[in-house]
Amino acid sequence: MPTAQQNHGPLGANGSTRVVMLGTGTPRPDPDRSGPATAIVVNDTPYLIDFGPGVIRRVTAAYEKGVTALGYGGVNIKTAFLTHLHSDHTVGYPDLIFSPWVMGRKEPIEVYGPKGIKAMTEHVLQAWEIDIDVRTINQHSANGFKVNAHEIAPGVIYRDHNVAVTAFPARHEALADAFSFRFDTPDRAIVISGDTTPTPVLIEHSRGCDVLVHEAYSMASFHRAPPRWQDYRRSAHTSSTELAEIANAVRPGLLVLYHRSNAGGDPANLERDEVVVEEIRQAYKGKVVQGHDLDIF
């Protein structure tokens, strides 16, 4: 089957909105899937959602495949959004702060996320204060490592000439603050689920969107998991059956799957990628694909 990159080609400078799957993985250290990270590029301006492990190396790989709007080493990423504070979505935060700075970023980045992102930012900068002191002495920008961290609530959290970003609550384990995002650009509406169980508010914000990027686990792997892990999946994630119901209600132009949870499954024996797609297609007849790192939609 052709990959999305082959179907859609590299991102050009034609002003159209593209979704770049930088990392589609989970906490499992899968060498073929970096931690969760997605870029939306509008009029050659990149917006990053989540910063899992390896984020800037994946950004650079996308740059070398033609997504030049990201800038080499992510130097063009000035605005980022975080769905929630779990480690698999945030371990790349120091990478996002420091690697583009070392590569030449000269201005602070703006980061929008749940309550706690300000404290996380302060602690990261404190942990690397020796590095910051040395590099600013050695001619690196005195501003390029800085972060303006914004703690968000549901509603429109960001707007510029390219995009309006709406945050709405996700439901993920016991986290009090977890979000999904809707991006409205001049030519597309894109929804990023983050980690979540099914919620009515996601359906409300996703109806008729052009692209819905949503997490999912397969029922085949669910039935093989021990009961306590089945309970966990129900409280934290969305099954293929549930996602088919969501897609039938929302009718997105394209459903892209990512963050395929295998909690409680055998980490050395993952099922093939198409299992969850095949399960969804049993009940949903719209266009659905399994997202892979560096796919472009």
- pLDDT tens, position by position, 64-108: 999 999 999 999 999 999 999 999 999 999 999 999 999 999 999
Picking from 144, 94, 100, 151, the residue whose alpha carbon sits closest to that of residue 124 is 94
Q: Which residues of 178-202 are buried (b: 16+ CB within 10 A; e: fewer)?
A: bbbbbbbbeebbbbbbbbbbbbeeb
pLDDT at 165 over 90: yes
Q: Tally the residues of the chain.
A: 297
Rg (the chain; Cα; Å): 18
CATH topology classification for 4-290: Metallo-beta-lactamase; Chain A (3.60.15)
pLDDT at 159 over 60: yes
pTM, entire model: 0.92
Q: Which residue has the tokens 């993952």?
A: 270
- pLDDT tens, position by position, 26-41: 888 889 899 999 999 9
Q: Where are the domains of the chain?
A: 4-290
What percent of the chain is modeled with pLDDT above 70?
A: 91
Among 72-76, 134-138, 149-153, the range scoring the smallest mean pLDDT is 134-138
pLDDT of residue 200: 96
Count of other CB atoms within 10 angstroms of residue 107: 11
The average confidence (pLDDT) of the chain is 91
CA 255, CA 286: separation in Å to the nearest integer? 8
Alpha helices in 49-92 (DSSP H): 55-64, 87-90
CA 96, CA 37: separation in Å to the nearest integer? 11
12 falls in which pLDDT band (50, 70, 90)? very low
Distance between start and end Cα atoms, the chain: 16
Contact, 35 vs 52, CB < 8 A?
yes
Helix (H) or strand (E) holding 169: strand 164-169
CA 257, CA 25: separation in Å to the nearest integer? 11
Contact, 231 vs 273, CB < 8 A?
no
Q: Which residue has the tokens 């989540």?
A: 50
pLDDT at 9 over 50: no
CA 7, CA 115: separation in Å to the nearest integer? 39
